[in-house]
């Protein structure tokens, strides 16, 4: 409530803390004041090693779980339930720095074309959804959370609600505007007629708000039709949006604002991708790049 976290984040923290509670019970810790630093470090070790009940976690998943545990103990101290924080000195494992996976512009175009196969309201919706995801770099959760009033086709802007309840206004291109226009005029009325009425922009076949899972299915189906297979994930279009902007000369801080990143450090990982691209172009084009 205080941090304005998304429902999916809260669900993940809830699972993490339930696992932590089970671990503590096995060690005979029944009161918050019983927990010591060695319990927290042992829990972290168990996350990385796994056991008969739980598989070993990756560094990134283990780090998220430790963050939840540290948050719990900070809360207990702040509320006066405990006097010391046994997790304060326990650092989450550092996940390896992974480059975001983007696809080339021609593959994006194949993906978007594949979403237009067929006819009917859902085809118009699917094309509009994918055009919007790539056109403004929205997260899937942000896209399915849109209401009709959040998008202004006349000015070519959309209001996105990101992590922590933060909102940002992002421009969208003519292709995305045209796809959303076609959907709202010719597709959405047929879908909304099947339900009880909702302000949601993207609707399912029953007239309700499209879910994240259904949006992922839309993306996966289009990717399979385009012959892209497993290379495309829910975040691929967002990553491609950022990478293509930087390849086109956009400033990293502008891209930061468009993506809704709290820190430019998060956005700078995309510059590593573009440097690799520049290196490839240099090696192929410069007469003295290779011997």
Residues with catalytic roles: 139, 163, 235, 238, 261, 270
Q: What is d(CA 31, CA 6) in angstroms, rounded to the nearest whole number?
A: 29
């Amino acid at each position: 409530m205080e941090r304005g976290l998304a429902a999916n984040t809260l669900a993940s923290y809830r699972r993490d803390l339930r696992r932590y509670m089970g671990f503590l019970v096995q060690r005979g810790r029944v009161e918050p004041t019983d927990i010591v630093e060695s319990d927290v470090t042992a829990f972290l070790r168990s996350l990385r090693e796994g056991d008969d009940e739980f598989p070993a976690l990756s560094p990134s998943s283990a780090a998220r779980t430790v963050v939840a545990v540290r948050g719990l103990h900070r809360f207990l101290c702040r509320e006066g339930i405990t006097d010391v924080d046994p997790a304060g000195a326990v650092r989450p494992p550092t996940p390896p720095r992974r480059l975001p996976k983007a696809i080339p512009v021609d593959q994006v175009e194949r993906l978007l074309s594949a979403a237009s196969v067929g006819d009917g309201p859902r085809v118009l919706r699917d094309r509009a959804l994918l055009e919007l995801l790539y056109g403004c770099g929205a997260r899937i959760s942000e896209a399915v959370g849109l209401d009709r009033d959040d998008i202004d086709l006349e000015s070519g802007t959309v209001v996105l609600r990101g992590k922590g309840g933060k909102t940002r206004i992002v421009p969208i291109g003519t292709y995305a505007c045209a796809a959303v226009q076609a959907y709202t005029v010719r597709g959405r009325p047929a879908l909304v007629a099947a339900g009880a009425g909702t302000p949601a922009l993207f609707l399912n076949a029953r007239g309700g708000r499209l879910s994240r899972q259904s949006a992922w299915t839309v993306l996966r189906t289009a990717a399979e039709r385009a012959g892209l297979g497993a290379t495309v994930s829910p975040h691929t279009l967002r990553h491609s949006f950022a990478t293509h902007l930087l390849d086109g000369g956009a400033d990293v801080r502008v891209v930061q604002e468009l993506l809704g990143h709290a820190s430019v450090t998060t956005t700078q990982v995309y510059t590593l991708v573009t440097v690799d691209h520049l290196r490839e172009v240099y090696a192929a084009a410069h007469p003295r790049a290779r011997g």
